[in-house]
Every structure is written in structure tokens, then in C-alpha cells.
């Protein structure tokens, strides 16, 4: 999925490349999930290697969301400020959140039980809306992100009303195919913002790449640039291919 951030000026290939790696990992994870969920192959993503692979995928993606936001905000602040600056990211976050709502409706219609209520697109949208208030803290976001993660770990198993789902508290019988609450996951975004302020202060790269990127990395960069489109279409494509190659109707 996309972080909804469009950098002003030149793009940095390493950011697009790492985002491309994250979206590739997500496609692989969802393929494995679908194989198990639709009883096509006996594999589970709720434990063992694939569980940690999924957690690593989400963490990498949200880390890049934070880095990209830090870079984009610094560049945008060079030309606009105040309410006009915040409004720009408010609209971007709201747009990503709206796509999350479409995912909610689509999974509710197709899956019914276990549909997405507050998934990664919802989280990214809200994160982009909240992030401008944290940008000023710079490297301190590393600490604040760690605290956010610890809070998430502390409350993760605490049952509560459904309206607290975005915060990481939910009714005891709740489950969803994609649940990415603010605690702890907004903490990963904050850590990414801290990393961004360190590596890309004022929107410029502080370091030089120690090696030339190989030619095949352009494929990852392309995926990184178009990660939102890939996120939105990859699951229908996977399900269609599973239908074609296995003859099973995943319903």
C-alpha cells in the first residue's frame, strides 16, 4: 500500500526501493494467507515464520511511511506554512483513510466474518493526519515511538468496547484479516519520522549511497512508486489466479 506521501522535488531511489521491497513482501504474505484461508494449502500465517514475516512487512512499510512523511513535510514547509501546510496533509490522510473505508466495505461484502474494520490503510491515513503535530520533535520521535509501541504491547490483550478498536482495545471475540491499531503501530511511524529527521534533515539526504544500485532495482523502485495501486489490486488478482490454477472458488 502507499504511504500517501508525494515528495516535493527529486525522489530518492533508496526510499522507493525499500518501499518496493515492502510491497513485494506484502504480496507474498497475502498469497500465503489466501492459500491457507481458502483451504488450498495447509499453511498458517497466525504463528511461526509467516506471522513474523507479516509483522516485519507491516513494520518496514510503516517505517517508510514515517521517513517519507519527514522528507515531504520538510520540503513542503519551504513554500507554505500554518493552516495551509497542515491542510495539505490533512487532505492526504483523509484520502488514504477513505480508501481504507472502501476496503472495509469490500471485505465486509466478500468475507463477512473477519472483515477489515481498522486496517493498515486506516492507520496510514490517521497517521498522516497526526504526524504534523509530531514533526517538530525530530529525533525525540524515536523515543516517543518506542513508548507508543510499549503502550500497545501493554493494552493489546485488554478487552473493551468496539469503539476503542482504533486504539488497540477491542471486544474479546474480535478478529479481523487486517487489524493495525494506532497502538502500537503509530509508534513505528514515529520511529520512521525520527529516522527521517536524522537521515534527511530539511528534506535533503545527509549521506551518500556507498554503492551503485543494480539495474534490477528499478523494478522495486517502480513498485514503490505505485504501491497504492498494487495494494488495491493485488488481492483480487491473487484470488482470480487461485481460481484459475486450482479450480477452487474461494468463498
Number of folded domains that form the chain: 1
The CA R_g of the chain, rounded to the nearest whole Å, is: 19
pLDDT of residue 3 exceeding 60 = no
C-alpha torsion angle, residues 103, 196, 76, 180 (rounded to 10):
20
Domain-embedded: residue 2? no
- List, in sequence order, every beta strand (DSSP E) within the chain: none
CB-count burial class (<10 Å; 0-12, 13-18, 19+) for 41: exposed
Domain-embedded: residue 209? yes
Domain-embedded: residue 3? no
Distance, in Å, from the CA atom of 157 to the CA atom of 28, rounded to the nearest integer, reads 28
Torsions phi, psi for 125 (to 5 deg): -60, -50
β-bridge mates for residue 159, sequence order: 170
Q: Which domain holds residue 75?
A: 13-246
Q: Share the mean pLDDT of the chain.
A: 91
Does the pTM exceed 0.95? no
What is the per-residue pLDDT across 210-239, written as a single tens digit (0 to 9) for each? 677 677 788 999 999 999 999 999 999 998
Q: How confident is the model at residue 250 (pLDDT cuts 50, 70, 90)?
A: low
What is the per-residue pLDDT across 60-107, written as a single tens digit (0 to 9) for each? 999 999 999 999 999 999 999 999 999 999 999 999 999 999 999 999
Distance, in Å, from the CA atom of 225 to the CA atom of 13, rounded to the nearest integer, reads 10
Domain-embedded: residue 53? yes
pLDDT of residue 244 exceeding 90 = no
Task: Give the cell for residue 30.
Answer: 497475502
Amino acid at each position: 500500500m502507499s504511504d500517501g506521501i508525494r515528495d516535493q522535488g527529486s525522489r530518492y531511489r533508496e526510499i522507493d526501493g525499500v518501499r518496493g521491497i515492502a510491497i513485494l513482501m506484502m504480496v507474498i504474505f497475502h498469497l500465503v494467507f489466501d492459500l491457507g484461508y481458502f483451504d488450498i494449502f495447509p499453511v498458517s500465517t497466525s504463528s511461526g515464520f509467516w506471522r513474523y514475516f507479516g509483522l516485519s512487512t507491516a513494520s518496514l512499510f510503516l517505517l517508510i511511511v514515517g521517513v517519507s512523511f519527514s522528507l515531504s513535510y520538510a520540503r513542503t514547509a519551504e513554500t507554505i506554512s500554518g493552516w495551509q501546510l497542515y491542510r495539505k496533509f490533512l487532505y492526504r490522510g483523509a484520502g488514504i483513510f477513505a480508501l481504507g473505508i472502501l476496503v472495509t466495505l469490500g471485505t465486509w461484502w466478500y468475507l463477512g466474518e473477519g472483515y477489515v474494520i481498522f486496517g493498515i490503510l486506516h492507520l496510514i491515513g490517521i497517521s498522516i493526519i497526526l504526524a504534523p503535530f509530531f514533526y517538530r520533535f525530530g529525533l525525540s520521535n524515536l523515543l516517543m515511538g518506542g513508548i507508543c509501541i510499549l503502550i500497545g504491547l501493554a493494552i493489546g490483550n485488554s478487552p473493551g468496547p468496539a469503539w476503542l478498536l482504533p486504539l488497540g482495545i477491542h471486544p474479546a471475540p474480535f478478529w479481523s484479516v487486517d487489524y493495525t491499531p494506532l497502538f502500537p503501530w503509530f509508534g513505528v511511524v514515529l520511529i520512521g519520522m525520527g529516522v527521517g529527521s536524522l537521515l534527511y534533515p530539511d528534506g535533503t539526504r545527509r549521506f551518500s549511497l556507498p554503492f551503485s544500485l543494480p539495474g534490477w532495482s528499478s523494478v522495486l523502485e517502480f513498485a514503490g512508486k505505485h504501491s497504492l495501486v498494487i495494494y488495491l489490486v493485488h488481492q483480487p488478482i491473487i484470488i482470480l489466479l487461485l481460481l484459475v490454477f486450482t479450480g477452487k472458488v474461494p468463498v
